[in-house]
Amino acid sequence: MDAATIDATVRFVPNRQHSWIGRLFDNKSFLVFLCMLPTIGLLVVFLTYPLGLGLWLSMTDTTIGQRGEFIGLENFWSLFDDPVFWGAVWYTIFYTAVATAGKFLLGLWLAMLLNHHLPFKAFIRAIVLLPWIVPTVLSSIAWWWIYDPQFSIISYVFVNVLHWRETYFDFLGTPWPARWSLIVANVWRGIPFVAITLLAGLQTISPSLYEAALLDGATAMQKFRRITVPLLMPILSVALTLSVLFTFSDFQLVYAITRGGPFNSTHLMATLAFQRAIPGSQLGEGAAIAVAMIPFLIAATLLCFFGVGRRKWQQGGDND
Amino acid sequence: MTSLAGTNTAETDTAGLLAEELEEGLAKSTRDDPEYLSWDSKARRTITVYIPLAIFVIVLLFPFYWMAITSIKPDYEMYDYKQFTPFWVHSPTLANIKKLLFETEYPRWLMTTMGIATAATFLSVGASVLAAYAIERLRFRGAQHVGLLVYLAYLVPPTILFIPLATLIFQFGMFDSPLALILTYPTFLIPFCTWLLIGYFKSIPYELEECALIDGASRLQILRRITLPLAVPGLISAGIFAFTLSWNEFIYALAFIQSTEKKTVPVAILTELVTGDVYQWGSLMAGSLLGSVPVAIIYSFFVEYYVSSMTGAVKE
């Protein structure tokens, strides 16, 4: 890196006479404006404006192909009396809570396993990330096939190999097994991200702390509780915030495996919003469901962010 | 712990772990390893580290194995568990893959996805470099706040945006056009890439730019000749991230694209290949596998960049 920088510096031709364009670009405000323009432009048009538009749509009776009229909070009142909506709210919370707990417990365990000196460590670390890299929909289709009622490989193992059961599992045909099946698939997909992130955190913990604890006669459990967990907290809170946020707003996995069925029992708020808005063409009602997600998202973010541990550097400041 | 020693031999001789362990033991005895200070016996290590790790790896990789093995099974094997053990394939066939490539529009979907992902990646990385440079290096007033706003944009999930975006796309006349995806993907790519590149620019010494300023370079020359060349690893990882994220994107592609030939791979597999009541699992698995291969290849080339920048991005 050093050689490259010196090389780059030496190759400068001292040039006092910049063209007017060069001088314009030396004007800092102009340069800032120019540099921020594409980002701010794209984000305002395709992110901020749609957020506002979503709020407006949720208070209209817009359908596909027809401009709606303002109807106030009517969409929300009708959702309030809609058992399917409340079922989706309940399952979204349940799904987020259980899947996040599973991901973090197993992810932390995997991170601690990977933190040992292992043969082929880099290779193991690389392949362990695969579930996270591969498009969610495509791995979800694989899970769908694994959960097949007639040809499920899990059922085959339980019935024909281990002889623990007489009949095949009905993974996706009845509400509760379907709910748990989706959670398992989500945990499977989420473990790598948590594990690799926490592994990075574990590697920053100085080994001398563990040596000191060992000399003082600390047990493995004490070392874990008094050294590992507190020092992991900062990175844990960031990973937790992101994970909760993206699990809560999950769409792909449920849409690919069950599409909300059986009997609407596995609808997340996102899949229900899609269902009502695009195939059902009730854009206003779909937007209202999406807007209803916002308070939950804000509450979850604040809870994880401030509840678990707050550090200055999470907001882009210095690490101290 | 003595009771565990008895089970040790049975556990280890299965996977050939013993040899690796011996090798590692030798390597470890020469290292000053804090773990080795404890009473870390081989038996204990096998029970607490290798076996759980093996289970993790098997569970995490099994769906891919299952995907791969299903995609090369002939139909009569796939649905007959009594005669053929499902874990292995007896007479592998390329029929499923052939059917996918020649009887569906799969190659076209692949090209479309590739094109959209590439365009969105270039657009986002370009915009992010400029934004990250301005936020981190030009140090204008309020730069911290702008950085925070961009970070907050990352926290807005696409699932609450797609309905208003669909109406917006319709008004712009971009419905059912790849342009709709190329322009909307940056909403989640730019915040991520900017965040990553800000972290990267931080690691480049500011003094280098000051030297160049003293030598009479203009700001643009500095960006082009000093900052960007030094930020190439950061740019590569931002590019990989952006490419994989746009390859994996689903909900916008599902909502904004209607005609069969313009669909992206994840959407097309789910909406075009899943037809009727009888699922063609062979072709479905082949399609999923082929759709995963491009990201897996890119990822395998740059895995070190990927892991370090992922952890780096979180730490920043």
Establish if A257 belongs to a structural domain: yes
Interface test with B, best of A7, A39, A140 (most B CBs within 10 A): A39
Q: In chain B, what residues touch A221 (CB-CB under 8 Å)?
A: none
Whether A214 is covered by a domain: the verdict is: yes
In a domain, residue A64? The reply is no
Cβ pairs A/B, distance under 8 A: 323
Chain A residues lying within 8 Å of B158, measured CB to CB: 249, 251
Q: Which residues make beta-bridge pairs with A63? A: A66
User: CB B138 to CB A316 under 8 A?
Assistant: no
Complex-level ipTM beyond the 0.90 threshold: no
- For chain A, what is the mean pLDDT? 85
Q: Do A200 and B314 touch (CB under 8 A)?
A: yes
- Cross-chain CB nearest to B269 (options A141, A235, A313): A141
CA nearest neighbour of B164 among A273, A244, A137, A77: A273
Q: Is residue A27 part of a domain?
A: no
Q: Do A273 and B163 touch (CB under 8 A)?
A: yes
Nearest CA in chain A to B251: A252
Chain B nearest-CA distance from A176, in A, is 22
Report if residue A287 sits inside a domain: yes
Q: What is the CA radius of gyration of chain B?
A: 26
Residues (pLDDT < 50) of chain A are 1-3, 6, 8, 14, 312-320
> What pLDDT does residue B315 have?
39
Q: How far is B3 from chain A (nearest CA, A)?
A: 19
Contact B255 A274 (CB under 8 A): yes
Which pLDDT score, from 0 to 100, does residue B310 have? 59
A49: CB partners within 8 A, 6+ apart = B168
Q: Which residues of A touch B79 (CB under 8 A)?
A: 150-151
Per-residue pLDDT, B16 = 44
A197·B23 Cβ contact <8 A: no
CA distance A309 to chain B (A): 14
**Residue A278: inside a domain:** yes
Residue in chain A nearest B133 by alpha carbon? A35
Please judge whether A245 and B155 are an interchain contact, meaning their C-beta atoms are less than 8 angstroms apart: yes
Euclidean distance between the first and the last CA atom of chain B, given in angstroms as a whole number: 42
Q: Does A117 contact B78 at a Cβ distance shorter than 8 Å? A: no
Domain-embedded: residue A7: no
Residues of B in contact with A31 (CB under 8 A): 134, 138, 219
Q: Looking at chain B, which residue has its C-alpha nearest residue A237?
A: B314
Query: Which residues on A lie below 8 Å from B267 (Cβ)?
Result: 137
User: What is the helix, strand, coil percentage profile of chain A, to 5?
Assistant: 70, 0, 25
Cβ atoms of A55 and A291 within 8 Å: the answer is: yes
Residue-level pLDDT at A51: 92
Continuous segment of H or E residues that includes residue A113 = helix A83-114
Pair B134, A37: CB distance under 8 Å: no
Distances (CA, A) of B94 to B65, B66, B97: 16, 16, 5
- Look at A142 and B183 and tell me if their CB atoms are within 8 Å: no
Angstroms from A256 CA to nearest CA on chain B: 7
Q: Which residue in A has a C-alpha nearest to residue B212's C-alpha?
A: A9
- Give A153 to chain B, closest Cα distance, Å: 8
Residue A102: domain span: 83-313
Provide, as residue numbers in chain A, all residues whose Cβ is less than 8 Å from the Cβ of B126: 38
Alpha helix (H) residue ranges in chain B: 2-15, 17-29, 34-37, 42-45, 51-71, 75-78, 95-103, 106-133, 143-154, 162-171, 178-184, 186-202, 206-214, 219-222, 228-230, 232-248, 251-256, 265-268, 281-301, 303-315
3-state DSSP of A31-43 = HHHHHHHHHHHHH
Q: Domain limits of chain B?
A: 2-71, 104-315
Q: What angle do CA A52, A58, A63 make, to 5 degrees?
A: 115
Nearest CA in chain A to B143: A32
Find the closest chain A residue to B126 by CA distance. Answer: A38
pTM above 0.80? yes
Q: Do A117 and B28 touch (CB under 8 A)?
A: yes
- Fill in the amino acid letter for A21: I
Give B220's contacts in chain A (Cβ within 8 Å): 22, 25
pLDDT at A233: 85
Query: Among all residues of chain A, which has the CA nearest to that of B214?
Result: A14
Q: Domain spanning B104-315 has what CATH number?
A: 1.10.3720.10
The pair of structure tokens assigned to A112 is 């601690």
Candidate from A51, A125, A188 with C-beta closest to B161: A51
Q: Which of B143, B241, B162, B35 is nearest to A57 (CA)?
A: B162
* Mutate which: B64, B109, B154, B160, vs A, most A CBs within 10 A: B160
Mutate to test the interface with B, among A2, A17, A29, A32 (most CBs of B within 10 A): A32
Domains identified in chain A, total number: 1
Is residue A238 assigned to a domain? Answer: yes
What residues does A60 pair with on adjacent strands?
Answer: A70
B74 preceded by cis ω (within 30°)? Answer: no
Per-residue tens of pLDDT for chain B, all 316 residues = 333 333 333 333 434 444 444 445 444 444 445 555 455 577 777 888 889 999 999 999 999 999 999 888 888 877 777 777 788 888 888 888 888 888 888 899 999 999 999 999 999 999 999 999 888 888 788 888 888 888 888 889 999 999 999 999 988 888 889 999 999 999 999 998 998 898 888 888 888 888 888 888 877 788 888 888 888 888 988 898 899 889 989 999 999 998 888 899 999 988 888 776 667 888 889 989 988 888 888 887 777 766 666 555 443 3
Question: Which pair of structure tokens corresponds to residue A41?
Answer: 């432009």
CATH code of residue A293: 1.10.3720.10
